């Protein structure tokens, strides 16, 4: 059973690496940020699985913190970093 | 009225702390302090009396919500897996009967998780929805979601637009 | 084992990329991603408390502050440039 | 393997499959709005199934409830964050991708 957990952990991590491609490629700022938020959700799942396979319930708390704080980064992006009119090219 | 709200919310927040610490008792000092702060914040941000929360409504809403989000996930998953991408996305305005306040916040968050809809903007009395298949039955879905949420919160919907 | 190797590779790659990229915004987002990887590394090292701090501060708060900074810089650039 | 273990394993597998599809959607869909459809819906479902699979194996009821709480918070968090970003994208006037454009311009 923990074997399956470990396989799934590697699988989810590879998923993260594929999403990393989107972060580096863009093309728009929103794409990068959304990929980073996807990291949040996948990261939460990964941490929950790790909590199970390593038998450390404290990791659930980390997952909780990650889930909640991802919003702060998302909100900071939407409210502060990404203002002004769309010009079709964001020097990506 | 206000005492009742304080009592209910206090019990809920204490239960939440209990859940977060998984029933340990050594951190209750901090727990009580944060529960009181959270209670104050909730009273300021959401004054009591504006909604009449219904547990039966919550149950109905939860069943509806889980059912719909399963459908949403499967549908988008199938679209993403099709060899030739066959989607007709677009933005549609839909009128809104939900009064301003908590109800709207919950409605927007729910619609974001429902099949084929994504709220892109919120105006005085309508929503702009982005859909994957334009020309579908989006208006009806919004009506259903509105009704369920209004029942849960004991809100009255505005008249027919 | 596989997970650890992938994790180290990803950590190093995001670190180098976030420092080397000429695009400020890309650097910031990569830094947020780096914070998440760092938290996972702490988890693998059995340091759950440091991982919690890293997830909260590195991936959450510092990311928000840096994004705020990018916003200010851009507003300033737009007001000084024609 | 006992029946609960089997059930849990299959939920975990379904969850992982949804995550994979979410990533595929992120790479394949043509614009910000459609990509967000893939993210908000599919990924939350993936997390939901993962949580469900772990809840079955949770040591006690409190631990199980806490896992569900994580899912609910993640749901709320991603719905809110995504709404903020998408509203900003709409504000900035990013036009949604249309199917016709693709037919005219293969």
Please tell me whether residues B113 and B65 are part of one structural domain: yes
Let me know whether B69 and B124 are in one domain.
yes
In a domain, B70, yes or no: yes
How many domains is chain B built from?
2
The model's pLDDT over B118-138, given as tens digits with 9 standing for 90+, comes to: 777 777 777 787 877 766 677
**C81 — pLDDT class (breaks 50, 70, 90):** low
Q: Is A44 on the interface with C (CB under 8 A)?
A: no
Q: Which of the four pLDDT bands, split at 50, 70 and 90, describes residue D10? A: confident
Structural domain total, chain C: 1
Q: How do residues B58-102 score in pLDDT, each as one tens digit?
A: 888 888 888 888 887 887 788 777 777 666 777 777 777 777 777
Residues B94 and B148 in one domain: yes
How many alpha carbons fall within 13 Å on the CB side of residue C43? 33
Residue A30 is nearest to which of D23, D32, D80, comparing CB atoms? Answer: D32
- For A47-88, the DSSP string reads HHHHHHHHT-THHHHHHHHHHHHHHHHHHHIIIIIS-S---S
- Contact between D25 and B80 using a beta-carbon 8 Å cutoff: yes
Structural domain harbouring C9: 2-80
Q: Dig out the tokens for A13 from the structure.
A: 């991590």
The strand order across the sheet containing B90-95 reads B90-95, B126-131, B117-122
Full residue range of the structural domain in which residue A27 is found: 2-81
Which chains touch C (3+ CB pairs under 8 A)? A
Q: How far apart are the C-alpha atoms of A47 and A44, rounded to whole Å?
A: 5
pLDDT at D106: 37
**Chains in contact with chain B (at least 3 beta-carbon pairs closer than 8 A):** A, D
What is the distance between the alpha carbons of residues B107 and B145, in angstroms, rounded to a whole number? Answer: 7
CA distances (Å), origin C65, targets A66, B55, C32, D17: 16, 40, 11, 35
CB atoms within 10 A of CB D82: 24
Which residues span the domain enclosing B21? 2-45
ipTM of the complex: 0.83
In a domain, B104, yes or no: yes
Instruction: Answer whether residue B159 is part of any domain.
Output: no
Mean pLDDT along residues B48-57: 72
In chain D, which residue's Cα lies nearest the Cα of B81?
D21
Same domain, B85 and B115: yes
Residues B63 and B113 in one domain: yes
Counted domains in chain A: 1
């Amino acid at each position: 059973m923990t074997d399956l957990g470990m396989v799934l952990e590697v699988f989810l991590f590879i998923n993260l690496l594929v999403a990393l491609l989107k972060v580096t490629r863009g093309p728009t700022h929103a794409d990068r940020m959304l990929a980073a938020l996807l990291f949040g959700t996948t990261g939460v799942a990964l941490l929950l699985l790790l909590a199970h396979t390593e038998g450390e319930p404290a990791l659930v708390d980390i997952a909780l913190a990650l889930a909640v704080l991802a919003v702060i980064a998302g909100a900071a992006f939407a409210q502060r970093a990404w203002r002004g009119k769309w010009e079709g090219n964001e020097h990506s | 009225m206000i005492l009742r709200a304080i009592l209910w919310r206090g019990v809920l927040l204490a239960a939440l702390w209990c859940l977060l610490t998984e029933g340990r008792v050594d951190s209750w000092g901090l727990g009580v302090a944060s529960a009181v702060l959270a209670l104050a914040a909730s009273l300021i941000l959401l004054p009591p009396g504006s909604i009449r929360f219904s547990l039966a409504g919550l149950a109905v809403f939860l069943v509806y919500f889980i059912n719909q989000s399963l459908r949403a996930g499967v549908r988008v998953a199938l679209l993403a897996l099709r060899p030739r991408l066959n989607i007709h996305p677009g933005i549609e305005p839909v009128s809104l009967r939900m009064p301003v306040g908590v109800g709207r916040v919950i409605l927007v968050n729910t619609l974001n998780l429902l099949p084929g809809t994504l709220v892109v903007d919120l105006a005085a009395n309508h929503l702009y929805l982005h859909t994957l298949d334009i020309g579908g039955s989006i208006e009806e879905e919004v009506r259903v979601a509105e009704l369920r949420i209004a029942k849960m919160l004991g809100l009255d919907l505005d008249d027919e637009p | 084992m596989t997970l650890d190797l992938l994790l180290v590779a990803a950590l190093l790659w995001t670190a180098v990329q976030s420092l080397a990229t000429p695009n400020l915004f890309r650097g910031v987002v990569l830094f947020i991603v780096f914070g998440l990887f760092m938290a996972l590394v702490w988890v693998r090292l059995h340091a759950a408390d440091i991982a919690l701090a890293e997830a909260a501060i590195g991936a959450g708060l510092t990311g928000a502050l840096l994004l705020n900074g990018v916003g200010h810089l851009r507003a300033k650039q737009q007001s000084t440039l024609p | 393997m006992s029946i609960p273990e089997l059930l849990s394993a299959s939920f975990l597998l379904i969850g992982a499959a949804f995550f994979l599809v979410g990533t595929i959607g992120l790479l394949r869909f043509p614009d910000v709005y459609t990509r967000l459809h893939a993210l908000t819906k599919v990924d939350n479902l993936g997390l939901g199934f993962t949580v469900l699979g772990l809840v079955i194996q949770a040591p006690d009821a409190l631990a199980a409830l806490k896992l569900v709480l994580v899912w609910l918070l993640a749901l709320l968090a991603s719905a809110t964050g995504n709404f903020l970003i998408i509203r900003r994208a709409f504000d900035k006037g990013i036009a949604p991708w249309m199917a016709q454009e693709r037919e005219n311009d293969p």
